[in-house]
Protein backbone atom coordinates (compact mmCIF):
# COMPACT_ATOMS: atom_id res chain seq x y z
CA UNK A 1 0.00 0.00 0.00
CA UNK A 2 1.52 3.33 -1.01
CA UNK A 3 2.14 6.27 1.28
CA UNK A 4 0.17 9.45 0.52
CA UNK A 5 1.15 13.07 1.08
CA UNK A 6 -1.44 15.25 2.78
CA UNK A 7 -1.77 17.15 -0.50
CA UNK A 8 -2.68 13.92 -2.34
CA UNK A 9 -5.25 12.98 0.32
CA UNK A 10 -6.81 16.45 0.12
CA UNK A 11 -7.04 16.34 -3.68
CA UNK A 12 -8.48 12.82 -3.63
CA UNK A 13 -11.17 13.96 -1.22
CA UNK A 14 -11.96 17.06 -3.30
CA UNK A 15 -12.07 15.10 -6.56
CA UNK A 16 -13.89 12.01 -5.30
CA UNK A 17 -11.00 9.67 -6.07
CA UNK A 18 -10.78 6.43 -4.07
CA UNK A 19 -7.58 4.87 -2.76
CA UNK A 20 -8.50 1.62 -4.53
CA UNK A 21 -8.43 3.46 -7.87
CA UNK A 22 -5.04 4.98 -7.06
CA UNK A 23 -3.60 1.60 -6.11
CA UNK A 24 -5.05 0.01 -9.25
CA UNK A 25 -3.50 2.77 -11.36
CA UNK A 26 -0.10 2.19 -9.79
CA UNK A 27 -0.28 -1.58 -10.37
CA UNK A 28 -1.87 -1.55 -13.84
CA UNK A 29 -0.80 1.74 -15.43
CA UNK A 30 -1.40 2.04 -19.16
CA UNK A 31 1.12 4.90 -19.38
CA UNK A 32 4.11 5.73 -17.17
CA UNK A 33 5.98 9.01 -17.70
CA UNK A 34 9.17 10.02 -15.92
CA UNK A 35 9.63 13.76 -16.31
CA UNK A 36 12.32 15.79 -14.58
CA UNK A 37 12.72 16.16 -10.81
CA UNK A 38 12.15 12.49 -9.94
CA UNK A 39 8.37 12.57 -10.30
CA UNK A 40 6.77 9.59 -11.99
CA UNK A 41 3.29 9.84 -13.52
CA UNK A 42 1.00 6.83 -13.83
CA UNK A 43 -2.16 6.95 -15.95
CA UNK A 44 -4.94 4.47 -16.51
CA UNK A 45 -8.66 4.17 -17.24
CA UNK A 46 -10.87 3.04 -14.36
CA UNK A 47 -13.92 0.79 -14.73
CA UNK A 48 -16.40 3.62 -15.39
CA UNK A 49 -14.31 4.94 -18.30
CA UNK A 50 -12.69 7.94 -16.61
CA UNK A 51 -8.92 8.39 -16.76
CA UNK A 52 -6.90 8.95 -13.61
CA UNK A 53 -3.36 10.26 -13.19
CA UNK A 54 -1.24 9.57 -10.11
CA UNK A 55 2.01 11.45 -9.51
CA UNK A 56 4.61 9.75 -7.31
CA UNK A 57 7.87 11.09 -5.89
CA UNK A 58 10.13 8.28 -7.05
CA UNK A 59 12.86 9.05 -4.51
CA UNK A 60 10.55 9.01 -1.47
CA UNK A 61 8.03 6.50 -2.89
CA UNK A 62 5.07 8.69 -1.93
CA UNK A 63 1.95 9.73 -3.85
CA UNK A 64 2.15 13.52 -4.17
CA UNK A 65 -1.06 14.25 -6.09
CA UNK A 66 -3.93 12.57 -7.94
CA UNK A 67 -6.19 14.00 -10.64
CA UNK A 68 -8.65 13.17 -13.38
CA UNK A 69 -7.26 13.29 -16.91
Instruction: State pLDDT tens for residues 6-28.
Output: 999 999 999 999 999 999 999 99
What is residue 2's predicted lDDT score, i.e. its pLDDT?
85
Average pLDDT over residues 28-36: 89
Distance CA 26, CA 33 (A): 12
Distance CA 53, CA 21 (A): 10
On the question of pLDDT at 37 being above 80, the answer is no
Domain chopping of the chain, boundaries: 3-68
Average pLDDT, the chain: 94
Distance CA 34, CA 52 (A): 16
On the question of pLDDT at 67 being above 80, the answer is yes
What is residue 28's predicted lDDT score, i.e. its pLDDT?
95
pTM (two decimals): 0.92
Amino acid sequence: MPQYSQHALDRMSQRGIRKAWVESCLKNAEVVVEPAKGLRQFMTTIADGRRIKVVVDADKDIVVTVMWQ
